[in-house]
C-alpha cells in the first residue's frame, strides 16, 4: 500500500478535524449524563455505589472532552500563525489519550443503564464488559494489527 506524506498544514487540518468530529458526540453524551441524575429512577433504582459509578463516568467523559479540545487551545495559545511537527505530535497524543477515559466512561454508564433495565448486576456487568471488549478490539487491537501488517 502506497503512502503519501502530508504537509504539516494538511496534518494539522486532519488532526483538528478529527477532534472537531468527536466533540459533538461527547458533548451530547455529557449532557445526557448530567440530566440522568435529575430522574426519580436514578435515586430510586440505583444503589449509592452505582450512583458513584455514574459520577465516575461523568468525570471520565469530562476528561476525554478536555483532551479532545486541548489541541485547539494549544494551537491558539502557542502557534496561532504556524504549524509545527511538535503540535501535530502533541495533538495526536491528546486525541489518542482521550479514548481510554471515553471508553471506560461509556462502559460505566452502560453498566448503570443495563442495571436499571435488566435489574441484574451480573447482566449489567456482562454487557459493560462485552462493550469494553468491543472498544479494545476496534480502538486498540485492530489498529495495531493494521500497523503490524504495514
**In a domain? residue 81:** yes
pLDDT tens for residues 56-93? 999 999 999 999 999 989 888 888 788 889 989 999 99
Task: Write phi, then psi, for 37 (nearest 5 degrees).
Answer: -70, -15
pLDDT-based confidence at 144, cuts 50/70/90?
very high
Q: Decide if 120 is inside a domain.
A: yes
- The percentage of residues in the chain with a pLDDT greater than 70, rounded to a whole number, is 99
All three cell numbers of 96, joined, read 489518542
DSSP string, 75-112: HHHH-TT---HHHHHHHHHHHHHHHHHHHHHHHHHHHH
Residue 51: inside a domain: yes
How many residues does this entry show for the chain?
Answer: 150
Task: Please state which of the ranges 14-23, 63-72, 103-112, 130-139 shows the lowest mean pLDDT.
Answer: 14-23
On the question of pLDDT at 2 being above 80, the answer is no
Say if 3 falls within a structural domain. Answer: no
Residue 76 in any domain: the answer is yes
Grid cell, residue 57, equals: 463516568
Is 5 a residue whose pLDDT tops 70? yes
Does the global pTM surpass 0.85? yes
pLDDT band at 1; cut points 50, 70, 90:
low
When divided into structural domains, the chain yields a total of 1
User: Per the domain annotation, does 2 fall within a domain?
Assistant: no
Residue 92's domain comprises 8-149
Q: Could you tell me if 66 and 94 are in contact, meaning their C-beta atoms sit under 8 angstroms apart? A: no
For residue 55, tell me if it sits in a domain: yes
Question: Residue 77 and residue 75: Cα distance in Å, rounded?
Answer: 6
Binning the chain into helix, strand and coil, the percentages to the nearest 5 are: 85, 0, 15
Q: What is the pLDDT of residue 6?
A: 84
Amino acid at each position: 500500500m502506497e503512502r503519501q506524506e502530508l504537509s504539516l498544514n494538511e496534518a494539522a487540518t486532519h488532526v483538528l478535524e478529527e477532534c472537531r468530529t468527536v466533540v459533538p458526540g461527547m458533548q451530547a453524551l455529557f449532557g445526557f449524563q448530567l440530566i440522568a441524575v435529575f430522574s426519580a429512577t436514578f435515586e430510586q433504582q440505583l444503589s449509592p455505589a452505582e450512583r458513584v459509578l455514574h459520577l465516575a463516568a461523568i468525570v471520565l467523559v469530562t476528561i476525554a472532552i478536555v483532551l479532545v479540545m486541548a489541541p485547539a487551545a494549544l494551537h491558539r495559545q502557542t502557534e496561532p500563525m504556524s504549524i509545527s511537527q511538535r503540535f501535530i505530535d502533541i495533538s495526536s497524543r491528546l486525541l489518542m489519550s482521550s479514548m481510554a477515559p471515553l471508553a471506560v466512561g461509556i462502559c460505566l454508564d452502560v453498566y448503570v443503564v443495563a442495571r436499571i433495565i435488566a435489574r441484574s448486576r451480573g447482566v449489567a456487568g456482562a454487557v459493560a464488559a462485552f462493550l469494553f471488549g468491543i472498544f479494545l478490539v476496534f480502538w486498540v487491537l485492530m489498529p495495531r494489527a493494521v500497523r503490524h501488517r504495514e
